[in-house]
Chain A
Amino acid sequence: MRPGRTRWHSIGKWVLIAVCAVILLVLPRFIGEYYTNLAVKIFIMALLACSFNLLLGYTGLLSFGQAAYFAVGAYACALLLKLVIPNVVLAILISVVISAAVALVFGYFCVRLTEIYFAMLTLAFGQIVYTIAFKWESLTGGDNGLAGIPSPPLNCGLFTLDLSNAFHYYYFALVLISVSIGVLYLIVNSPFGATLKSIRENPERASFMGQNVRVFQLISFGIAGTFSGLAGAIFAPFEKFVSPELTYWSKSAEIVLVSILGGIYTFIGPVVGSAVMILLEDYISTYTSYWSIFLGTVLIIFVIFMPDGIVGRTNQIFYKLRTQSPIKQ
């Protein structure tokens, strides 16, 4: 590794992050309430997709029921805020713990399986959660869901955030979610993350090298479930409405979709995928009710020409540009 290139590379990355941070901080001023709203949705989806990708991109496990943990977090937060304590921070914390617990329980069974069987079992658990949300009317409101979730103000010491205000919620979500994504980034770049990658590449070899593959997979599953639950807990007071659709397999499919679209073998891929999908859908659905055929065609073309995802492809392009540059280090 030539020293000059490394330094430039890491400075470049930090500059990019700083620029993004500034843009995100001032964005609400320029885009109005509706798009600020949409931005929060993108943040939540980005966190959800990143947590999912810990399993797929880094551990090699396709979870087809990740929405279940999102929904558990959302419902838990909704119920806590509505019935128990009107304190957002506490509600989120407790919801996260609950989702983590559920993920560990389901994960314990799921990691005994591989490949498509694993995926189908995660799907089954997701649908079981759906059934519970649907049928346990007295707790979850059944198929009508829970409406009117309060967003009580948050006292941060120096100032108070009025969480029913879209702009305030934007900053609240931005802080929480960027920190979470940062934590996930640290996890995947840690020795733990390295072990996960080796398991992804070749589980047999990893086990021969003495790694307890199942334990690592379970921990990964638990972490993914925790952050998915966090995304859900942030979702509930924002949307002010939760319903069983949040845990239906089509929601899980959405998560899979945006992650693959963005590129599962890069960290930032799912984030980009979330933003692109949500913005695209918002734009296209205004003009036509034939959104499905559009998305379907995009997916087909995508798999044929850009299987590494948007970020993967852009990385390839940059790499090509760099190696063609006349200035060689």
Chain B
Amino acid sequence: MSTKKWMTGIVALFIVVIWAFTPAMGKEKPIKLGTLFVMSGKLGGYGKSGWQAVQLAIDEINESGGILGRKMVAFNEDEKAKPEIGVQIAKKYILKKKVDFLLGPTASSVGLAVSDVCRQYKKILIVTQSATDVLTGPQFHPYQFSVLSNALMQSRAGAHYLAPKPYKRWMCIGPDYSYGHSSWETFIAKLKELRPDVEVLGELWPKLMTPDFTPFINKILEANPDAIWSPLWGGDTVTFIKQALPFGLFDKVKFAFPVGASMEVLIPVGKDMPEGIYMSARYFFTTPEYGRNRRFVKAYYERFKEYPSYMAEESYAGVYFLKAAIERAGTTDTEAIIKAVEREPLAWETPEGWKVMRKEDHLAVEDVVWGETVYSEKYGFAILKNIESIQGELVVRTEEELKEIRASYEKRMKGR
């Protein structure tokens, strides 16, 4: 190549480099939100609803003037339930796209990994789908806020809901990983506290996404418990119910699915859903009946042609939490926001009602909804009847537990 060509090439490269590194000038920069969800595989439905809800929330916010006069813009990438990918995306968002906040992710293991990245780079993560209670517990740090009721709350709420009912002989069948195990452990510990006469007949742990539950179903039939606690979720619940139906299992044993009442389960099972199964959800679209929720459900349905599951609502609530937090602090600066939210409990309105973010563990204290399944002609899938709301305050960590959490956080920080 001739010298002239080399020179042109170098000059061009120079210009490109300068241009790429010049900060963007112009009007008010938008507030950037980086989201991570599982968009593929069996759990893909959760990511899909989450991202749809985020888009809805942001469009609504921008239409009504934005936050502190600035528009909000969001990015989404598929974390594929792999922590390595989640970390990569988080770093991309923070270092390359220079997002102001992160939201998501779906998988608990990714949640832990991404949360640590946020801590390192001092960016706030709004947790809307990962249910692990470890983030608001042993692995707590102030750069994250959980807007959803975590596994601990779900289990305790379940214990409160089921203790008055006449079931004494319990079993468990759940997915064989940390979420399943801790869901059961928390539940049975609380249940025993409220009802010391319960008896545990056994525990079954099929691996996550097992295609065939028949051997487990047989074991249940053999043991013949009164009731079963089942942290199975998503596609697993669908498969399990389909396979258990011909055995008439649901006539013989009462089931309680703490995360069963999600669209990803109710719609595929459709009218095959037996009546009277106890299911809970962080949010169910038919309740509360009043304004905010009704507007949300309507807007979501019109745009996405489906009803919002709790995964959608929590992500929606997450975006609105962010809005409330930024507005209270008056700035998007991370430390200022943390201080502002911790100053006194921050209450903000969401479709499921008012939620309160408390400072001790950065957890939103929200009620947990339990009900019984009943098929609805109107919707074409089962919905919940006899809905009971278990008070959030009853099921969150207590004062003593929180003190321990704070203490261990201080200790861990010193140790670095």
Is A in direct contact with B (CB under 8 Å) within the complex? yes
Interface residues of A (CB under 8 A from B): 30, 32-35, 37, 41, 134, 137, 142-145, 147-148, 150, 164, 239-241, 243, 245-246, 282, 285-286, 289, 291-292
CB of B39 within 8 A of CB of A245, answer no
CB of A286 within 8 A of CB of B77, answer yes
CB of A239 within 8 A of CB of B87, answer yes
Give the shortest distance, in Å, between A210 (CB) and chain B (any CB).
45
Give the shortest distance, in Å, between A308 (CB) and chain B (any CB).
27
CB of A285 within 8 A of CB of B134, answer no
Q: Contacts A241-B83, A241-B87, A286-B77 hold; do A144 and B95 have CB atoms under 8 A apart?
A: no
CB of A240 within 8 A of CB of B116, answer yes
Beyond the given A243-B113, A289-B76, A292-B40, could you list 13 further A-B residue pairs with CB under 8 A, ordered by the A residue number?
A144-B132, A144-B178, A147-B112, A150-B416, A241-B112, A241-B116, A243-B83, A243-B84, A245-B84, A285-B77, A286-B77, A289-B39, A291-B78
Q: How far is the CA of A286 from the CA of B77 in the complex (A)?
A: 7
**B82 to chain A: which residues have CB within 8 Å?**
245
Q: How far is the CA of A144 from the CA of B139 in the complex (A)?
A: 12
Return 11 A-B CB contacts under 8 Å, by A number: A34-B96, A142-B178, A143-B109, A144-B132, A147-B116, A148-B139, A243-B84, A245-B82, A245-B109, A282-B92, A286-B92
Give the shortest distance, in Å, between B404 (CB) and chain A (any CB).
18
Q: Which 5 A-B pairs have the closest CB atoms?
A: A34-B95, A34-B96, A143-B177, A241-B113, A243-B83
Q: A148 contacts which of B88, B89, B95, B116 (Cβ < 8 Å)?
A: B116
**A246 to chain B: which residues have CB within 8 Å?**
84
Task: Count A-B contacts at CB 8 Å.
Answer: 73
Q: Can you name the residue of chain B whose Cβ is closest to the Cβ of A30?
A: B17
Q: Can you name the residue of chain B whose Cβ is closest to the Cβ of A285?
A: B77
Say if the beta carbon of B108 comes within 8 Å of chain A: yes
CB of A289 within 8 A of CB of B178, answer no
Say if the beta carbon of B195 comes within 8 Å of chain A: no
**A241 to chain B: which residues have CB within 8 Å?**
83-84, 87, 112-113, 116
CB of A145 within 8 A of CB of B87, answer no
Give B87-121 as 1s and 0s: 1 = Cβ < 8 Å from A's Cβ atoms.
11101100110000000000011001100100010
CB of B108 within 8 A of CB of A144, answer yes
CB of B109 within 8 A of CB of A145, answer yes
Secondary structure type dominating chain A contacts: helix
**A145 to chain B: which residues have CB within 8 Å?**
83, 109, 112-113
Residue among A30, A32, A239, A282 with max Cβ neighbours from chain B (10 Å): A239
Interface residue tally on B, bucketed by range: 20 to 34
CB of A37 within 8 A of CB of B77, answer no
Give the shortest distance, in Å, between B179 (CB) and chain A (any CB).
8
Q: A144 contacts which of B78, B88, B91, B112 (Cβ < 8 Å)?
A: B112
**A243 to chain B: which residues have CB within 8 Å?**
83-84, 109, 113
Residue among A243, A286, A292 with max Cβ neighbours from chain B (10 Å): A243
**A291 to chain B: which residues have CB within 8 Å?**
78
Give the shortest distance, in Å, between A134 (CB) and chain B (any CB).
7
**A30 to chain B: which residues have CB within 8 Å?**
17
**A37 to chain B: which residues have CB within 8 Å?**
91, 95
Q: Can you name the residue of chain A whose Cβ is closest to the Cβ of B78?
A: A289
**B83 to chain A: which residues have CB within 8 Å?**
145, 241, 243, 245
Residue among A143, A245, A286, A291 with max Cβ neighbours from chain B (10 Å): A143
**B177 to chain A: which residues have CB within 8 Å?**
134, 142-143
**A289 to chain B: which residues have CB within 8 Å?**
39-40, 76-78
Q: Can you name the residue of chain A whose Cβ is closest to the Cβ of B83?
A: A243
**B87 to chain A: which residues have CB within 8 Å?**
239, 241
**B112 to chain A: which residues have CB within 8 Å?**
144-145, 147, 241
**B139 to chain A: which residues have CB within 8 Å?**
147-148
Give the shortest distance, in Å, between A81 (CB) and chain B (any CB).
12
